[in-house]
């Protein structure tokens, strides 16, 4: 393993994990986990879903104990049997969606179990509040310590967890996909806080699928593949293609494999769509064989427009027409009958029933096809789901396993299978590759390109500008709920789209 250290980092590693192995019965989740973390350094841990990253982090957190290998903390070998032991040793894990006590205040969440006490062992609320304010000042952020945790944004919840880690004198802070649900402004704030942690001597382990963030934040990168350590290198020695090649074991020249489209007749016509306070006078068309992207900043109204078209949210004005047939407002049943499929942004809460089996989730939108009676034959359901699992190259153990056991990318494939099984003429897909790894992202992009070439009309909503530019035949940009620009594939670039998304260009290009 490379021992190259950033100039500002400590000379000796705070934490070392060597040749860690972890199995669950016959399944080898981690074959050769290795990492070295230095104080004052942000270190990226990269790999596809299933590469072993989560298992490695859970070993650091004390959730799992490695079967073999060793962990050194400040040069001393340690083994954690519980999460309490890991926390006591100075390791803090900041998850993508922190779990706070919603009815307690911010300060109470920070010092839970470690509250400052007055005489008689009564909690010193004034001191706890003062200490919380000092922690936030140290991080350079403003957060009310008396505010109840319920209703805090994901970004603010993460700040509470970071403050908790500092208050417990954590030397190693692991951030697991911390930016997946954040706006660009929140990401910038998180990066400033992370730099503050580094300046204070903490070792930061940063896990993300977003390579631009890795290059902006980290000094070194460790790459894993198939449960094994592949390489550890300084960030300045790497490029995005080199990282992708190491992660997936092959070149990924076609991350956006969008060929020339054969554009056909109009499938969807959205005219003057309005939902008071959300979006106003939104109009566009989507044709067969076309991928139309709705772009814009978070809060521009993109997902809300999609929900209005599908009938989840009722429109106040405007008309939605599918293949010449006008749809009633607020009726998903009518939208499905007309040939619309809808893959929502939040696949876990809105796209899947996590406790149900893989086969049941695939068949949910097609029960009348699987079995015409109220009693669905299990064999028919399994065959139906297995056919789609094969088509989409789904990776799973058994079809009867809960869909929650799948990786994020494979969960996304299950949602896609559920709707593609209905053979929709229009597929609405919101954030098609959020939270999935580079290799699976390329598979989803290839799938969307194939669907468009087969004649399907696709309405894609994405916050990733490279994805919008790489996959869309046309781009409709929203700004504060209104169309601020429409661009053909050949005339769109990052500057033009961002200008429209920022409200700097309100001229609609035909």
Q: Specify the pLDDT at position 210.
A: 83
- Calculate the dihedral angle through the C-alpha atoms of 168, 172, 178, 183, rounding to the nearest 10 degrees: 70
pTM of the model: 0.64
Question: Is 111:80 a contact under the CB 8 Å cutoff?
Answer: no
Kindly state the tokens that stand for 82. 């519980």
Distant-in-sequence, close-in-space partners of 293: CB < 8 Å, separation ≥ 6: 460, 461, 462, 468, 471, 472, 474, 475, 476
Confidence of residue 185 (pLDDT cuts 50, 70, 90): confident
Contacts of 417 (CB under 8 A, 6+ apart): 362, 385, 388, 389, 391, 392, 394
The DSSP string of 151-187 is T--HHHHHHHHHHHHHHTT-SEEEEESTTTT--HHHH
Answer positive or negative: Cα dihedral of 311, 316, 322, 326.
Answer: positive
Helix (H, G, I), strand (E, B) or coil at 217: helix
Q: What is the pLDDT of residues 240-280, one digit of tens each?
A: 888 888 887 765 556 777 777 789 999 999 999 999 999 99
Mean pLDDT value across the chain = 87
Which band of pLDDT confidence, cut at 50, 70 and 90, is reported for residue 348?
confident
CA distances in angstroms from 261 to 73, 291, 298, 462, 476, listed in the order given? 56, 9, 29, 20, 17
Provide the sign of the torsion angle of the four alpha carbons 7, 10, 15, 18, taken in this order.
positive
pLDDT (0 to 100) of residue 9: 59
Q: Domains (ranges, CATH) in the chain?
A: 13-100+169-248 (3.40.50.300), 101-151 (no CATH), 254-339+424-510 (3.40.50.300), 353-423 (no CATH)
Q: What is the pLDDT of residues 330-345, one digit of tens each?
A: 999 999 999 999 998 8
Of residues 472, 477, 479, the one with CA closest to residue 509: 477
pLDDT tens for 430-470 read: 988 877 777 778 888 888 998 999 999 999 999 888 889 88
Residue 55 has pLDDT above 80, yes or no: yes
Distances in Å between the Cα of 42 and the Cα atoms of 45, 57, 212 are 10, 15, 14
Q: Please determine, for residue 368, whether its predicted confidence score (pLDDT) is greater than 70.
A: no
Distances 294 to 79, 232, 260, 343, 469 between C-alpha atoms, Å: 49, 38, 20, 14, 11
Are the beta carbons of 289 and 268 closer than 8 angstroms?
no
Q: What is the DSSP letter of 63?
A: S
pLDDT at 505 over 60: no
Residue 4 has pLDDT above 60, yes or no: no
Q: Which two tokens stand for residue 358?
A: 């893989």
Whether the per-residue pLDDT at 6 is higher than 70: the answer is no
The per-residue pLDDT for range 102-160, each reduced to its tens digit, is 999 999 999 988 888 887 788 888 999 999 999 999 888 889 999 999 988 888 898 99
Contacts (Cβ under 8 Å, ≥6 apart) of 18: 34, 69, 70, 71, 72
pLDDT in tens, 373-427: 555 666 777 888 888 888 888 888 888 899 988 877 788 889 988 888 888 999 9
Q: What is the average pLDDT across 347-367?
A: 85
């Amino acid at each position: 393993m490379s021992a190259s250290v950033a100039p500002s980092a400590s000379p000796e590693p705070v934490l070392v994990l060597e040749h860690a192995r972890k199995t669950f019965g016959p399944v080898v989740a981690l074959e050769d986990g290795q990492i070295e973390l230095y104080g004052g350094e942000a270190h990226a841990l990269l790999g596809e879903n299933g590469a072993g990253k989560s298992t490695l982090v859970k070993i650091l957190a004390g959730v799992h104990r490695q079967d073999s290998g060793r962990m050194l903390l400040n040069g001393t070998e340690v083994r954690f049997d519980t999460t309490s032991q890991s926390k006591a040793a100075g390791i803090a894990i900041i998850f993508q969606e922190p779990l706070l006590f919603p009815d307690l205040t911010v300060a109470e969440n920070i010092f839970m179990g470690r509250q400052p006490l007055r005489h008689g062992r009564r909690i010193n609320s004034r001191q706890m509040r003062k200490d919380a304010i000092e922690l936030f000042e140290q991080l350079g952020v403003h957060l009310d310590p008396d505010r109840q945790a319920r209703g805090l944004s994901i970004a603010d919840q993460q700040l509470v967890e970071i403050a908790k880690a500092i208050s417990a004198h954590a030397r190693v802070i692991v951030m697991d996909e911390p930016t997946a649900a954040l706006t660009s402004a929140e990401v910038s704030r998180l990066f400033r806080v992370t730099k503050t942690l580094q300046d204070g001597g903490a070792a930061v382990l940063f896990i993300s699928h977003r390579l631009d963030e890795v290059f902006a934040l980290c000094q070194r990168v460790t790459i894993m593949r198939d449960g094994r350590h592949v390489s550890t290198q300084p960030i300045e020695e790497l490029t995005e293609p080199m990282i992708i090649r190491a992660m997936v074991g092959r070149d990924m020249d076609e991350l956006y494999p969008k060929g020339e489209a054969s554009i056909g007749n109009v499938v969807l016509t959205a005219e003057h769509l309005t939902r008071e306070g959300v979006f106003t006078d939104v109009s566009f068309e989507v044709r067969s064989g076309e991928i139309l992207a709705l772009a814009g900043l978070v809060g521009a109204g993109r997902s809300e427009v999609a929900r209005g078209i599908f009938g989840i949210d009722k429109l106040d004005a405007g008309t939605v027409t599918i293949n010449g047939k006008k749809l009633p407002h607020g009726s998903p049943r009518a939208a499905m009958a007309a040939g619309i499929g809808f893959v929502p942004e939040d696949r876990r809460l809105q796209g899947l029933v996590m406790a149900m089996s893989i086969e049941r989730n695939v068949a949910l939108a097609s029960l009348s096809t699987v079995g015409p009676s109220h009693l669905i034959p299990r064999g028919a359901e399994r065959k139906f789901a297995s056919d789609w699992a094969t088509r989409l190259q789904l990776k799973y153990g058994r079809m009867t396993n809960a869909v929650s056991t799948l990786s994020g990318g494979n969960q996304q494939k299950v949602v896609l299978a559920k709707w593609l099984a209905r053979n929709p003429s229009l597929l609405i897909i919101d954030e098609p590759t959020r939270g999935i790894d580079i290799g699976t992202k390329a598979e989803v992009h290839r799938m969307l390109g194939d669907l468009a070439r087969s004649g399907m009309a696709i309405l894609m909503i994405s916050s990733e500008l490279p994805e919008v530019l790489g996959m869309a035949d046309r781009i409709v940009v929203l700004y504060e709920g209104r169309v601020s620009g429409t661009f053909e594939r050949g005339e769109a670039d990052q500057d033009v789209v961002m200008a429209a998304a920022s409200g700097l260009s309100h001229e609609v290009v035909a």
